[in-house]
Amino acid sequence: MAEKFISERNLRFLLYEVFDVESLLQYPRYADHSREVFDMVIDTAMKMARDLFKPVLTEMDRKQPQYINGEVKVHPQVRTVMREAGAGGWIGATFDYEYGGQQLPEMIGAMTPTAIFSAANYSASVYPGLTTGAAGLIVSFADKAMQDLYLPKMMAGEWQGTMALTEPQAGSSLADITLTAEPTEQGYYKIKGQKIFISAGDHDGVDNVVHLTLGRIKGAPAGIRGISLFIIPKKRIEPDGTLKFNDVNCAGIYHKMGYRGAPITQLAFGENDDCRGWLVGEPNKGLGYMFQMMNGARIDVGVGATGIASAAYYASLEYAKERPQGRRLSSKDPLSPQVPIIEHPDVRRMLLFQKAIVEGSLSLLMQCSKYHDLEKVSEGEKKEDYNLLLELLTPVAKTYPSEMGILSCSAGVQILGGYGYCDEFPLEQFYRDVRIHPIHEGTTGIQGLDLLGRKVIMKNGRAYKFYLSEVRNTIAEAKNDPDLSLYAQTLEELVEKLDEVTKFLVGIATQGNPERFLADATLYLELFGIVSVAWQWLLQALVASRKLKANCNSEDESFYRGKILTCRYFFAYEVPKAQALMVRLMNNDGLTVDMNPAYLD
Amino acid sequence: MNIIACVKQVPDTEAQIKVKADGSGIDEGGIKWVMNPYDEFGVEEALRLKEKFGGEVTIVCLGPARAMETIRTALAMGADKGIHIDDPALYEADSYATAEALAAAIKGLPYDIIFCGQRAIDDDSGQVGSILAELLGIPVVTMVTKLEVEGNSAKATRPIEGAQLVISTSLPCVITATKGLNEPRYASLPGIMKAKKKPVDIKNAAALGVSGASKAKVVKFVPPPARPPGKIICADDTPEGKAAELVKLLREEAKVI
Ligand SMILES: Cc1cc2nc3c(=O)[nH]c(=O)nc-3n(C[C@H](O)[C@H](O)[C@H](O)COP(=O)(O)OP(=O)(O)OC[C@H]3O[C@@H](n4cnc5c(N)ncnc54)[C@H](O)[C@@H]3O)c2cc1C
């Protein structure tokens, strides 16, 4: 199997050269850090990925979690991963010092290790990742007593954290959640209900599981205004510190297409009337709180997809260099040796496609991460601006890597031909693993609605306008670079057209036709994704071009030329796809709204 | 207990090594540098002894400025302080000159036990630990896979062909570590933060009173010869024909039968 699963050089390029993570060191929040610290974080994450995550990638796929007597058994390495992630401080890497965190920037403490670990072994990476998300919610919204009770064990990797939202009748539609919580005089709530598809909801790699759960307090209003957030541990902590079973029952696990190293569980709360939950924050505000975790989780999904696509890219690249097959079209001699398939333009096209998706996605995600960091260190209006940008880009940064990651892994399978389809090579696993990403944490359809129906129009389009100005800043800079001005101009025209499409669609909304407004929201999201990743490629090319003008060694030169070539590829092969989307989006015929479903039979 | 761990910075095992065109060394461009894996076992064992008996772990490293990263890595794992021997006169040091510089840096320090890796994975000489012990006038046990320290002595296990030797030695001594001794820990994030603030002394050859003169001189770096291309036997399409052709080639061309 290919050794390489992610490019450290590319990570450093994004961190230090494109997004200048060192610029954060000027803020008091990050004053204790330094470039050396960041470098050591990257080195250590790479080492852990190689030693702990990568060696069990295949095995965790083949030996799936098992449901035995109401409990879930997972691969023994899960316990090691959780303990090392805890002992190393990775679970709380970005948390404030006062909560036992390391106060690292998101770019270094969250984005970088998540990308590295998920590229090495996505399934293994979600156990600590989910725990970070759940612990983050506790930090933000729970009271001190609850923080003291749960955070140390979760951050040590001894207890698993989950997000428990989905119910059989409430998947995309969280407004329909029914898990109920009945107040008691002792302060806790008595919980009854069911959750399904809960990732890492039960397993023997930890000593307890802490579910951050959405439910309704008895008598709460219908819809999302009646949803509250609860902490419901699998085992509750008795006053004497011992753990007691809290009537959270694992009723089974699902057998999945991919991402098989982590179980998704069906959970029954309060079957024996003895399940206790503790309200987090105020009643009926749960969905708002949960969105903090969900936004983070959506970005993580984008990173996870990018990680898998990255591993697939390096596996297919290695293969393409070694597999001799066929001759160049210009070579007529049948006795000449066969050439490695990387000599064929069509194979190169597929490799460039993979590289463009992987590195374009990672750049967009890193951009989001930077906005997150800037939000943390800014005040007032600026803070809000960065928050709005992050909100706007979250559905894009979740969806583009997820949807395109599938196509990218598929190209990887294709490059291996028949071997790509067989399990001696890891490509078929990557292809199965990556398929989850457009589904969990809100399907692509839901992300489309979120982008067009909420984010683009919120605050009178303030986030959207700020986004356009960010893209235009890059365009203006690139116009001054003769090697890139052509792409700058193409992107400028593209942004104009995106704006035209947006105005057209919002116009439909103002005419009071929400169905037609949002019917093709997914396609709008797709368009937005192409624009955003084109922006990121221009940004990367801009930096690469600048570096090439200075003196650099031969490795660096090749790296930067690769960046510029891939930018050219993106503008030549991917950007034109936006045209088709725009043609469709500018048509308000209501084809899918008005059709008769019987015609599908 | 005062423990010293000597570490060397070497190219990552995955690095593609290219020899410079003039054969004077390797091309360092694009190489990722890491702590010599055998030295990691030594650092880990040092930290375990410290956890058991208390005391301090001092890292000693000879190398150019970039070697500081490796010292910081050891400090992030939990070592207390470092000595960085950095002098261009020593960059091409052979095993003897290296051991001499290390010995000079260590001589004035209190120490009960000194760890080295059994060899460095770059030039594979495997001599520094032994020479260092000789120069310090203390015993050495090489290739150690298990170590038990008690009072003023240690029992070290060392594999030999088909068996294990268990060797008792007095302290202080040099132990050269090999795979099997332990599982080195990862640097933790809090450890990484703390490492920045731990003291590292930088010393040059003059300060140590050594000349840096090597006894051995590298004449030239030569990459191993490229593997000759394989030969596909296709003279005749029958198994018999192919076998005959193979025998002919083995006899006449490869001259092995
Ligand atoms: C591997 C895995 C892990 C998961 N982990 C977790 C977890 O940890 N915690 C958790 O709470 N949940 C988890 N889930 C659940 C996941 O979030 C849901 O499956 C997902 O949100 C979709 O819900 P659903 O399956 O009920 O599909 P549905 O909501 O029934 O959707 C089916 C289809 O209809 C579309 N659709 C639905 N509503 C609309 C609409 N209003 N407009 C347009 N299209 C619509 C969807 O886009 C989708 O294509 C996980 C699921 C999987 C498969």
Q: Ligand 1 mean position to B237 CA, how many Å?
A: 59
Q: If you average pLDDT over residues A102-122, what whole number do you get?
A: 98
Q: Ligand 1 mean position to A301 CA, how many Å?
A: 14
Using alpha carbons, select from A578, A493, A584, A497 the residue that is nearest to residue A533.
Answer: A578
Does B100 lie in the same domain as B36?
yes
Minimal CA separation from B74 to chain A, in Å: 11
In chain B, the number of structural domains is 2
Q: If you average pLDDT over residues A459-470, what whole number do you get?
A: 97
Q: How far apart are CA A451 and CA A449, in angstroms?
A: 6
Q: At what angle do helices A458-479 and A485-510 cross, to 10 degrees?
A: 170
B179, B182, B189: best mutation site toward chain A, by most A Cβ within 10 Å? B189
DSSP designation for A268: E
Predicted local confidence at residue B242, as pLDDT: 86
B31 in contact with A at a CB cutoff of 8 Å?
no
Q: At what angle do helices A35-48 and A112-141 cross, to 10 degrees?
A: 100
Tokens linked to A189: 């709530």
Residues in chain A: 601
Q: How many CB atoms lie within 10 A of CB A367?
A: 23
pTM above 0.90, yes or no: yes
Does B235 lie in the same domain as B115?
no
Q: Report yes or no: A317 and A358 within 8 Å, Cβ to Cβ.
A: no
Tokens linked to A157: 């990797």
Q: Report yes or no: B158 and B165 within 8 Å, Cβ to Cβ.
A: yes
CA A342 to chain centre: 30
To 5 degrees, how large is the angle CA A513–CA A519–CA A524?
115
Q: Ligand 1 mean position to A421 CA, how many Å?
A: 28
Q: Looking at the domain assignment, is residue B127 inside a domain?
A: yes
Bridge pairing between strands A208-217 and A189-199: unpaired
Tokens linked to A423: 């399990």
- Beta carbons of A554 and B29 less than 8 Å apart: yes
Predicted local confidence at residue A334, as pLDDT: 86
Q: If you average pLDDT over residues A8-13, what whole number do you get?
A: 97
Closest atom, ligand 1, to C-alpha of A444 = 47
Minimal CA separation from B95 to chain A, in Å: 28
Q: Report yes or no: A307 and A11 within 8 Å, Cβ to Cβ.
A: no
Does B246 lie in the same domain as B178?
no
Which residues pair with residue B164 across a beta bridge? B159
Q: Which of A211, A298, A443, A518 for mutating ligand 1's site (highest number of atoms within 8 Å of CB)?
A: A443
Query: Between the CA of residue A43 and those of A326, A433, B83, what are the distances in Å?
Result: 40, 26, 22
Q: Which residues of B touch A102 (CB under 8 A)?
A: 189-190, 193
Please report which helix (H) or strand (E) contains residue B85, including its range: strand B81-85
Q: If you average pLDDT over residues A225-249, what whole number do you get?
A: 97
Predicted local confidence at residue A551, as pLDDT: 82
Tell me chain B's radius of gyration from C-alpha atoms: 23
Does A177 sit in the ligand 1 pocket, CB within 6 Å? no
Between chain A and chain B, the number of residue pairs with CB atoms below 8 A apart is 53
Q: Report yes or no: A415 and A316 within 8 Å, Cβ to Cβ.
A: yes
Handedness of CA A27, A29, A33, A38 (dihedral sign): negative
Does B17 lie in the same domain as B120?
yes
Does B148 lie in the same domain as B75?
yes
Does A277 sit in the ligand 1 pocket, CB within 6 Å? no
ipTM, two decimals, is 0.90
Q: Report yes or no: A319 and A3 within 8 Å, Cβ to Cβ.
A: no
A130-174, pLDDT tens digit by residue? 999 999 999 999 999 999 999 999 999 999 999 999 999 999 999
Please report which helix (H) or strand (E) contains residue B240, including its range: helix B239-252
Q: Report yes or no: A160 and A148 within 8 Å, Cβ to Cβ.
A: no
Number of H helices, E strands in chain B: 7, 12
Q: How confident is the model at residue B235 (pLDDT cuts 50, 70, 90)?
A: low
Bridge pairing between strands B56-62 and B2-7: parallel
Q: Which residues of A touch B188 (CB under 8 A)?
A: 87-89
Helix (H, G, I), strand (E, B) or coil at A2: coil
Nearest chain A residue to B186 by CA distance is A44
Region of A377 (left: φ > 0; alpha: ψ -120 to 50; beta: rest) is: alpha
Which residues pair with residue A160 across a beta bridge? A209
Biggest CA-to-CA distance, chain A? 88
DSSP designation for A452: I
Predicted local confidence at residue A331, as pLDDT: 84
Tokens linked to A327: 């001759």
Does B231 lie in the same domain as B202?
no
Predicted local confidence at residue A141, as pLDDT: 97
Which residues pair with residue A183 across a beta bridge? A189
Q: Looking at the domain assignment, is residue B238 inside a domain?
A: yes
Does B137 lie in the same domain as B73?
yes
A70-87, pLDDT tens digit by residue? 999 999 999 999 999 999
Q: Looking at the domain assignment, is residue B219 inside a domain?
A: no
B54 in contact with A at a CB cutoff of 8 Å?
no
Q: How far apart are CA A28 and CA B75, in angstroms?
A: 25
B197 in contact with A at a CB cutoff of 8 Å?
no
Q: If you average pLDDT over residues B5-18, what whole number do you get?
A: 91
Q: Looking at the domain assignment, is residue B216 inside a domain?
A: no
- Beta carbons of B69 and A32 less than 8 Å apart: no
Does A123 sit in the ligand 1 pocket, CB within 6 Å? no
For the cut 90, the answer to whether the pLDDT of residue B204 exceeds it is: yes
Does A446 sit in the ligand 1 pocket, CB within 6 Å? yes
Minimal CA separation from B26 to chain A, in Å: 14
What CATH number does the domain containing B40 carry?
3.40.50.620
B72, B192, B198, B234: best mutation site toward chain A, by most A Cβ within 10 Å? B192
A282 has catalytic annotation: no
Closest atom, ligand 1, to C-alpha of A441 = 17
Torsions phi, psi for A80 (to 5 deg): -60, -45
A238-276, pLDDT tens digit by residue? 999 999 999 999 999 999 999 999 999 999 999 999 999
Q: Looking at the domain assignment, is residue B132 inside a domain?
A: yes
Helices marked H in A31-76: 35-48, 57-62
Q: How far apart are CA A156 and CA A500, in angstroms?
A: 51
Please report which helix (H) or strand (E) contains residue B222, including its range: none
Q: If you average pLDDT over residues B159-187, what whole number do you get?
A: 96
Q: Report yes or no: A247 and A271 within 8 Å, Cβ to Cβ.
A: yes
A29-79, pLDDT tens digit by residue? 999 999 999 999 999 999 999 999 999 999 999 999 999 999 999 999 999
Does B117 lie in the same domain as B190?
yes
Please report which helix (H) or strand (E) contains residue A332, including its range: none
B63-105, pLDDT tens digit by residue? 999 999 999 999 999 999 999 999 999 998 999 999 999 999 9
Share of chain B above pLDDT 90, in %: 76
What single letter denotes the amino acid at residue A116? I
For the cut 80, the answer to whether the pLDDT of residue A396 exceeds it is: yes
Q: Which residues of A touch B69 (CB under 8 A)?
A: 36, 39-40
Please report which helix (H) or strand (E) contains residue A26, including its range: none
Q: If you average pLDDT over residues A528-552, what whole number do you get?
A: 96
For the cut 90, the answer to whether the pLDDT of residue A552 exceeds it is: no
Q: How many CB atoms lie within 10 A of CB B157?
A: 17
Of B76, B186, B193, the CB nearest to A32: B193
Q: How far apart are CA A423 and CA A62, in angstroms?
A: 10
Q: Report yes or no: A172 and A185 within 8 Å, Cβ to Cβ.
A: no
- Non-local (6+) Cβ contacts of B126 within 8 A are B118, B119, B142
Of A34, A47, A89, the CB nearest to B189: A89
Q: Report yes or no: A471 and A535 within 8 Å, Cβ to Cβ.
A: yes
Query: By residue range, what is the domain housing residue B181?
Result: 2-208
Tokens linked to A48: 């852990």
A289-325, pLDDT tens digit by residue? 999 889 999 999 999 999 999 999 999 999 999 999 9
Q: How far apart are CA A289 and CA A142, in angstroms?
A: 10
Does B28 lie in the same domain as B121?
yes
Cα atoms in the 13 Å half-sphere on the side-chain side of A336: 10
DSSP letters along B139-200, please? Answer: -EEEEESEEEEETTEEEEEEEETTEEEEEEEESSEEEEE-TTS--PPPPPHHHHHHHTTS-E
Does A442 sit in the ligand 1 pocket, CB within 6 Å? yes
Biggest CA-to-CA distance, chain B? 76
Q: How far apart are CA A482 and CA A485, in angstroms?
A: 5
Helix (H, G, I), strand (E, B) or coil at A67: strand
Q: Which of residues 69-128 of A touch B (CB under 8 A)?
A: 84, 87-90, 93, 102, 104, 109
Does B242 lie in the same domain as B125?
no
Predicted local confidence at residue A1, as pLDDT: 59
Q: How far apart are CA A447 and CA A460, in angstroms?
A: 20
Tokens linked to A414: 């294709």
What mean pLDDT is reported for chain A? Answer: 97
- Beta carbons of A36 and B72 less than 8 Å apart: yes
Query: Between the CA of residue A148 and those of A145, A152, B51, what are the distances in Å?
Result: 5, 7, 28
Q: Report yes or no: B46 and B57 within 8 Å, Cβ to Cβ.
A: yes
Tokens linked to B76: 């992030």
Predicted local confidence at residue A307, as pLDDT: 98
Using alpha carbons, select from A68, A35, A99, A123 the residue that is nearest to residue A311.
Answer: A123
Q: How far apart are CA A256 and CA A258, in angstroms?
A: 5
Predicted local confidence at residue A345, as pLDDT: 97
Out of A359, A391, A403, A441, the active site residue is A441
- Non-local (6+) Cβ contacts of A459 within 8 A are A388
- Beta carbons of B189 and A87 less than 8 Å apart: no
Does B166 lie in the same domain as B237?
no
Helix (H, G, I), strand (E, B) or coil at A113: helix
Q: How far apart are CA A544 and CA A536, in angstroms?
A: 12
Helix (H, G, I), strand (E, B) or coil at A586: coil
Q: How far apart are CA A124 and CA A365, in angstroms?
A: 21
- Beta carbons of B186 and A555 less than 8 Å apart: no
Q: Looking at the domain assignment, is residue B220 inside a domain?
A: no
Q: Report yes or no: A317 and A413 within 8 Å, Cβ to Cβ.
A: no
Q: Looking at the domain assignment, is residue B222 inside a domain?
A: no
Q: Looking at the domain assignment, is residue B189 inside a domain?
A: yes
- Beta carbons of A40 and B72 less than 8 Å apart: yes
Tokens linked to A183: 């107040």
B143-153, pLDDT tens digit by residue? 999 999 999 99
Predicted local confidence at residue A364, as pLDDT: 98
Tell the residue number behind the tokens 């989910």, with chain if given: A130
Q: Which of A130, A253, A439, A452 for mutating ligand 1's site (highest number of atoms within 8 Å of CB)?
A: A439
Q: How far apart are CA B77 and CA B12, in angstroms?
A: 18
Does B251 lie in the same domain as B135?
no
- Beta carbons of B190 and A32 less than 8 Å apart: no
A44, A314, A559: best mutation site toward chain B, by most B Cβ within 10 Å? A44
DSSP letters along B92-118, please? Answer: T--HHHHHHHHHHHHHTS--SEEEEES
- Beta carbons of B69 and A104 less than 8 Å apart: no
Q: Ligand 1 mean position to A175 CA, how many Å?
A: 13
